[in-house]
Chains A and B, each alone.
Chain A
Amino acid sequence: MDPNTAGWALVVALFLPLAGAGALTLMPASMDREIRRAAVAITAVGFALVAAVTASFDYSRAGELQFTTDVPWITAIDARFSLGMDGISLPLFFLTSLLTLLCAIYTTKPLPSPGKPKAFLSLMLLLQTGMAGTFVAFDLILFFIFFELTLVPMFFMIGMWGGPRRDYASVKFFLYTLFGSVFMLVAFLAIYFQAGANSWSITELSNMAPFGSTTFQTWAFLGVFLGFAIKVPVWPFHPWLPDAHTEAPTVGSVLLAGVLLKMGTYGFIRIALPILPDGAARFAPMIGVLAVIGIVYGALCCLAQTDVKRLIAFSSVGHMGFVMLGIAAMNEAGIQAALFGNIAHGIITGMLFFLAGSMHERYHTREIAVIGGGMLKKMPVYGVLFTYVAIASLGLPGLAGFWGEFPAMWAAISPGLGLADSYGGLYLGLVVFAAIGTVLTAGYFLWLIQRINLGEPTERWANEPLADVQAIEWVSWLPLLALILALGIFPRLLFGGQDAAVTNLVGFLGG
């Protein structure tokens, strides 16, 4: 595949799941096994295509858009159907495809009530198109549509297959994100008109930037910020997250943590920063402060949780705080770190949600106190995996989490855009508190391991037969487990591919 001409590959990879979702709805609901297998087949074919795209991606020109498609779309408003990928999009696109495949494989296990795998898998495939599209759309309108497209399937996933408070959680999720999206859309419109009302192209707008007065940029950035910050979520826009994660079915949680949150940070990096550099420079210290509050705060909240899934959900707040800290640094290293943290968090927390889901399937509870320890005795392999992923999540070097955290702090010590001169002391403080956040993170994870994994099984579970990791779980988890290690040992896998693209991007910032 020639990355310069094979734009079709991206289009096919993007809409194959959508077509698959359509095909699934045509199958009779009674063909349960066939539906599940078909979903695996569709996502597998899609992943194979994405893998081929990844393989043929020209890494020597990672800064330029490849696999582009650019045709007029809605001519009345100058919107174009514009797809492409560079070194920044590629890993996220790949991750989306991979996680969906693994989720499809995982869904060959029984679904939570009310079952209905056909509906579930169709929604999941629809979700995949939305998620993947967000990362390769290079037209603001197209981006917005993909961005919003994810809301509906996720809403139904939580609302239909979720836990006892699913109605509350799904509506909360929907309203929060939609609230932000409204402001984002308004900001997009403002950008469009300010830039001369003839293009929605992200690349063109970035090239044009900075345009408009600082006041305009500030307001436009605020709008975009609200949209993305709620999605990330940045403290204090996070309360939807724990509820959504806790109530969502396993696959929903995995995709939510693994990909959906990334759309927010990706939006910051792809849209908010290059198009509105002046606004970004004004907001950067505030973003940094919110990010660090998120880190410390998320960790503190985790310490107080009694529900495993809710704890992991709150840990996301902290981890995304590191990503936002990287963005707040407004320099190449920071963006690099943010993107790495994005992927690392997607893999690790996605994996943690898989584990939490399986734990719930076995214990039928997520209460730490009820599980009461001894998992390492009861299910040794499972316990080891849990420890492994938890340690990865607390940012141990050699595993993926580290390369999102340390470089983010490192980058924040000398923020770009001249922020170092005016806010040098503030940023030093941010680094210190972020580092303290790592201690708290270590604290709650170790405590979690202690309370769940270590010790003797309690009376209640001592004689309960609990299955250790099953074959289907191995299949859907092994890629993630391997990636955690591979990225930790060989961070160049991501850093290398992103480098040129990030350099380009920071060029737009003028920093």
Chain B
Amino acid sequence: MDALLEYTWVVVALPLLSAVLITAVGKQLPGKGSEIGIAALGLSWLLAIGIAWQTFVASPVEPLERSVDWTPLGGGFVFELGMLVDGLTAVMLLLVTTVSFMVHVYSREYMQGEPRYTYFFAMLGLFTFSMLLLVVANNLLLAVIGWELVGLCSYLLIGFYWEGKSNQDAGNKAFLTTKFGDVGLIVGVIVLSAGMFGLTDTPFNILEINEAAVAGQLSTTTIVLGMLLIFLGCMSKSGQMPLHVWLPDAMAGPTPVSALIHAATMVTAGVFLLARLYPVVAQNQAVMATIAIFGVLTLFFGGLLALVQDDLKKILAYSTISQLGYMVAAIGVGGYAASIFHLFTHGFFKALLFLGAGSLIHAVHSNNISDMGGMAKAMPHTFWTFIVGSLALAGFPLTAGFFSKDEILIAGEIWAGAGFFTGSLVYWVGLAAAFVTTFYMARACFLIFAGENRSHHTPHESGKLMLAPLMVLAVLSVAAGYLLSPFSPEQPNFETWLATPLLPAETTFPFTDEGTAAASGLVGDGVLAAGTSLAAAGDGPVKVLHGVPTWHPDLLAIVLVLFSLAVFLAYRFYGKGLPERDPTLSMGRFTDVLVAKYGFDDFGYRYIVVPVRDKLSAAATYSSNVLIDGMVAGVGRATKNAAMTTYRVVDQQVIDGGINGAAFSAAWWSDKLKRIQSGDVQKYAGVLVAGTILLVLAFAAAR
């Protein structure tokens, strides 16, 4: 293994350094700190490319793990600060640094003149650091830390324009919704680590958890409970229904932020985490089925919502939700590599689309596609890059999106072949959703670029700093697909790149019937050598899960037909500009349901936020102020009453009772006794002598 991988931590540290430096000295610099960010990310990017290259060409590679004991946690357990570098890490590093670098460059121009320009770059740096921390983490706790930090950055950047109430609300909504999912993540991580207690001192270590799961050392309860809970976290972070509600609102942030955080990187953290724990996921059919079903629901219904949006960023947001659904569903049908492949390509083309959208919004000062139109002429570069992105998103053949989405569909097909219903679900619903995707993207493109300019501004092409990232990403949106395509049948390709640290063939999907699985091509000879037994695979070529990527003419045909149909329909409706009545908004109840976003937001607000924030909290306060305090006060009053009773009954009526009674009796007795003090000295003397006599007598008697 080359020494470069040892320096993976530098990739992570550079953005943090950038954030700190920008905060410290950014304002004094000519570029207001943006140059620091760009330089740091550039370096980081180059290093990530190096790492990616090394892991790719040599793939599959043994994972490289380096850690230091960071703190004891008690009971002999240790929290490590460590990195785990393998193909998956390298892919994510490459994706994050690339997009982040592009966004940095883009933002330098895009954010020009905005308030808090320096702060923006510092936050970008902090976010990139957090995301990379999550990616390279060798243990779940560190991953959770990165996870929470990206959530914070997301909150801070969504609420970047915090003067407006809706932006504040969007930030809060994003943070709290994801935080709700974090309940699942945190408890899930805790449950998994609890399963490791007897096995190791580092119960959060991802590799060890994976190995333990594969070796059958984790109980089914641990796996099912832990993974379902973690999946809850993934759902909120990766916008799976019904926890997707925050993502469209998150578009309140600046567009580069949407591109970086809410399209390419942070929202994929959930998918990434599932992939990281894929050996655990693969242990249980129920877990996989759950994941697949939620993924399918999201990919379809999320996509539908994009149909009725007017806000370009929201269209993209819903499409992001839909694409994330593909990735999650892929995990659920054994399409581990397909999922990450889609994550990878989607990161590029969705970032491209968002940055393109930013360029458009910059030009027309509106987010709404109904305010655009005819942009193709005014903004040619934005136009063609946006179209490339849209094609990739729609899965037009030979773009990256086509290859990656097809991998998912094929994974579904194979899964179905192994006898699982969810496989067919993914295949057919995935195809249907592809049609929807094509349609709404075509709708958006026609409305934006065709027809007449409906904006009140004269659109102008953006500057070089904004266009360059668009072009780079456009190239990547096409080129990335060739990493796993019929054009790259031999290793190394994307699948061998990721082929660590997976399962030994014989223990893959322990719940499948071996014969069926083999027949369907799900498992087979030497398939996916595991991280632990990689050496046993020898030096020969390693076969990958779904075999060598090949053309699937049937699928290609269906995809082409659906694509043409969708584009044709869109052209009919929107080709001539904005129609009087937008067909997607004229579908009666169907439109109503979509516009109401299936009622999730409303439900959440009306039945969760309001009751908790207003009713339950008031009830709790009431119980604190009135019930508990009242109880204590009641005890106090009761005591007082009891005391009054005591006083009246015992003290006053039974005079000698209680303290006052004692006092009164003392007074009474003293009143009687004081009469002895008559002042008659002679009597005193008499008594004195009498006493003496008595004493003498007493002594005499005693003797």
A and B touch in the complex (CB under 8 A): yes
Q: Is A54 an interface residue (CB 8 A)?
A: no
A472-503 interface bits toward B, Cβ cutoff 8 Å, 1 = contact, 0 = none? 00000000000000000011100110010011
- B74, B180, B624, most chain A CB atoms within 10 A: B74
Q: Is B505 an interface residue (CB 8 A)?
A: no
- A238, A334, A495, most chain B CB atoms within 10 A: A495
**Among A77-85, A358-366, A449-457, which stretch is in contact with chain B?**
A449-457
Q: Is A446 an interface residue (CB 8 A)?
A: yes
Interface residues of B in 638-656 (CB under 8 A from A): none
Q: Is A308 an interface residue (CB 8 A)?
A: no
Q: Is A199 an interface residue (CB 8 A)?
A: no
Q: CB < 8 Å: which of A297, A336, A431, A495 contacts B187?
A: A431
Taking a contact as CB atoms under 8 Å apart, the answer to whether B620 and A439 are in contact is no
CA distance A480 to B75 in the complex (A): 29
Q: Would you give the shortest CB distance from A321 to chain B, in whole angstroms?
A: 13
Given contacts A439-B182, A496-B71, contact A406 B144 (CB under 8 A): yes
Q: Would you give the shortest CB distance from B119 to chain A, in whole angstroms?
A: 10
Q: Is A163 an interface residue (CB 8 A)?
A: no
Question: Which residues of chain A are near B169, meaning CB under 8 Å?
Answer: 450
Question: Which residues of chain A are near B187, meaning CB under 8 Å?
Answer: 409, 431-432, 435
CA distance A301 to B617 in the complex (A): 5
**Identity of the chain B residue whose Cβ is nearest the Cβ of A412 in the assembled complex:** B190
Q: Would you give the shortest CB distance from B608 to chain A, in whole angstroms?
A: 10
**Identity of the chain A residue whose Cβ is nearest the Cβ of B229 in the assembled complex:** A432
CA distance A510 to B79 in the complex (A): 25
Q: Would you give the shortest CB distance from A335 to chain B, in whole angstroms?
A: 7
Chain B, interface residues (CB within 8 Å), range: 35 or more
CA distance A77 to B551 in the complex (A): 91
Given contacts A376-B162, A439-B179, contact A333 B74 (CB under 8 A): yes
Q: Is B579 an interface residue (CB 8 A)?
A: no
Question: Which residues of chain A are near B72, meaning CB under 8 Å?
Answer: 336, 492, 495-496, 499
Given contacts A300-B620, A301-B620, A439-B179, contact A398 B74 (CB under 8 A): no
Q: Is B603 an interface residue (CB 8 A)?
A: no
Q: Would you give the shortest CB distance from A176 to chain B, in whole angstroms?
A: 8
**Among B377-385, B562-570, B585-593, B625-633, which stretch is in contact with chain A?**
B625-633
**Identity of the chain A residue whose Cβ is nearest the Cβ of B77 in the assembled complex:** A333
Chain A, interface residues (CB within 8 Å), range: 35 or more
Taking a contact as CB atoms under 8 Å apart, the answer to whether B616 and A300 are in contact is yes
**Identity of the chain A residue whose Cβ is nearest the Cβ of B181 in the assembled complex:** A439
Question: Which residues of chain B are near A336, meaning CB under 8 Å?
Answer: 72-75
B662-689 interface bits toward A, Cβ cutoff 8 Å, 1 = contact, 0 = none? 0000000000000000000000000000
Q: Is A323 an interface residue (CB 8 A)?
A: no
B316-343 interface bits toward A, Cβ cutoff 8 Å, 1 = contact, 0 = none? 0000000000000000000000000000
Q: CB < 8 Å: which of A410, A413, A442, A490 contacts B179?
A: A442
**Among B147-155, B290-298, B405-413, B462-470, which stretch is in contact with chain A?**
B147-155
A417-446 interface bits toward B, Cβ cutoff 8 Å, 1 = contact, 0 = none? 000000000001001100110111011001
Taking a contact as CB atoms under 8 Å apart, the answer to whether B617 and A414 are in contact is no
CA distance A31 to B461 in the complex (A): 71
Taking a contact as CB atoms under 8 Å apart, the answer to whether A398 and B617 are in contact is no
Taking a contact as CB atoms under 8 Å apart, the answer to whether B175 and A446 are in contact is yes
Q: Is A251 an interface residue (CB 8 A)?
A: no
Given contacts A300-B616, A455-B162, A495-B73, contact A305 B621 (CB under 8 A): yes
Q: Is A337 an interface residue (CB 8 A)?
A: yes
Question: Which residues of chain B are near A137, meaning CB under 8 Å?
Answer: none
Question: Which residues of chain A are near B552, meaning CB under 8 Å?
Answer: none
Q: Is the interface of A mostly helix, strand, loop or mixed?
A: helix
Interface residues of A in 190-229 (CB under 8 A from B): none
Given contacts A333-B77, A335-B74, contact A456 B163 (CB under 8 A): yes
Question: Which residues of chain A are near B620, meaning CB under 8 Å?
Answer: 297, 300-301, 304
Interface residues of B in 153-188 (CB under 8 A from A): 155, 159, 162-165, 168-169, 171-172, 175-176, 179-180, 182-183, 186-187
CA distance A234 to B72 in the complex (A): 28
CA distance A300 to B141 in the complex (A): 27
Taking a contact as CB atoms under 8 Å apart, the answer to whether A440 and B74 are in contact is no
CA distance A396 to B149 in the complex (A): 7
Q: Would you give the shortest CB distance from B20 to chain A, in whole angstroms?
A: 11
Question: Which residues of chain A are near B76, meaning CB under 8 Å?
Answer: 332
Q: CB < 8 Å: which of A303, A331, A397, A502 contacts B617?
A: A303
B51-95 interface bits toward A, Cβ cutoff 8 Å, 1 = contact, 0 = none? 000000000000000000011111111010000000000000000
**Among B191-199, B278-286, B448-456, which stretch is in contact with chain A?**
B191-199
Q: Is B618 an interface residue (CB 8 A)?
A: yes
Q: CB < 8 Å: which of B164, B176, B612, B618 contacts A442?
A: B176
**Identity of the chain B residue whose Cβ is nearest the Cβ of A410 in the assembled complex:** B190
- B77, B183, B614, B623, most chain A CB atoms within 10 A: B183
A90-111 interface bits toward B, Cβ cutoff 8 Å, 1 = contact, 0 = none? 0000000000000000000000
Taking a contact as CB atoms under 8 Å apart, the answer to whether A236 and B74 are in contact is no
Taking a contact as CB atoms under 8 Å apart, the answer to whether B190 and A301 are in contact is no
Taking a contact as CB atoms under 8 Å apart, the answer to whether B621 and A304 are in contact is yes
Q: Would you give the shortest CB distance from B130 to chain A, in whole angstroms?
A: 9
Taking a contact as CB atoms under 8 Å apart, the answer to whether A333 and B73 are in contact is yes
Q: Is B595 an interface residue (CB 8 A)?
A: no
Question: Which residues of chain A are near B152, meaning CB under 8 Å?
Answer: 391, 396
Q: Is A407 an interface residue (CB 8 A)?
A: yes
CA distance A499 to B74 in the complex (A): 6
**Identity of the chain B residue whose Cβ is nearest the Cβ of A407 in the assembled complex:** B73
**Identity of the chain B residue whose Cβ is nearest the Cβ of A397 in the assembled complex:** B145
Taking a contact as CB atoms under 8 Å apart, the answer to whether A442 and B190 are in contact is no
Q: Would you give the shortest CB distance from A266 to chain B, in whole angstroms?
A: 17
Q: Is B581 an interface residue (CB 8 A)?
A: no
Q: Is B613 an interface residue (CB 8 A)?
A: yes
CA distance A439 to B173 in the complex (A): 11
Question: Which residues of chain A are near B612, meaning CB under 8 Å?
Answer: 300, 303, 440, 443
Q: CB < 8 Å: which of B74, B162, B190, B625 contacts A495?
A: B74
Q: Is A242 an interface residue (CB 8 A)?
A: yes
Question: Which residues of chain A are near B70, meaning CB under 8 Å?
Answer: 490-492
Question: Which residues of chain B are near A332, meaning CB under 8 Å?
Answer: 74-76
Q: Would you give the shortest CB distance from B100 to chain A, in whole angstroms?
A: 19
CA distance A333 to B168 in the complex (A): 37
Given contacts A396-B148, A450-B172, A454-B168, contact A438 B73 (CB under 8 A): no
Q: Is A327 an interface residue (CB 8 A)?
A: no
Question: Which residues of chain A are near B190, meaning CB under 8 Å?
Answer: 409-410, 413, 431
Q: Is A302 an interface residue (CB 8 A)?
A: yes
**Identity of the chain A residue whose Cβ is nearest the Cβ of B162 in the assembled complex:** A454
**Identity of the chain B residue whose Cβ is nearest the Cβ of A447 in the assembled complex:** B172
Question: Which residues of chain A are near B624, meaning CB under 8 Å?
Answer: 238-239, 242, 297, 301, 314
Question: Which residues of chain A are near B162, meaning CB under 8 Å?
Answer: 376, 453-455
CA distance A411 to B162 in the complex (A): 38
Seen from chain B, the residues whose Cβ lies within 8 Å of a Cβ on chain A are 70-77, 79, 141, 144-145, 148-149, 152, 155, 159, 162-165, 168-169, 171-172, 175-176, 179-180, 182-183, 186-187, 190-191, 193-194, 197, 612-614, 616-621, 623-625, 628-629, 632
Q: Which 7 A/B pairs are nearest by Cβ-Cβ distance?
A: A303-B617, A336-B74, A300-B620, A332-B74, A397-B145, A304-B617, A333-B74
Task: Given A391-B152, A435-B183, A439-B176, output 16 extra A-B contacts at Cβ < 8 Å.
Answer: A238-B624, A242-B624, A336-B72, A402-B148, A406-B144, A414-B194, A428-B191, A431-B190, A435-B182, A438-B186, A446-B175, A454-B162, A454-B163, A455-B165, A495-B71, A495-B72
> Can you identify 25 A-B contacts, CB atoms within 8 angstroms?
A236-B628, A238-B628, A242-B624, A297-B624, A300-B620, A301-B617, A303-B612, A304-B618, A304-B620, A331-B75, A332-B74, A402-B145, A410-B193, A411-B75, A438-B179, A438-B186, A443-B176, A443-B613, A446-B155, A446-B172, A455-B165, A490-B71, A491-B79, A495-B71, A495-B73
Seen from chain A, the residues whose Cβ lies within 8 Å of a Cβ on chain B are 176, 236, 238-239, 242, 297, 300-305, 314, 331-337, 376-377, 391, 396-398, 402, 406-407, 409-411, 413-414, 428, 431-432, 435-436, 438-440, 442-443, 446-447, 450, 453-456, 490-492, 495-496, 499, 502-503, 506
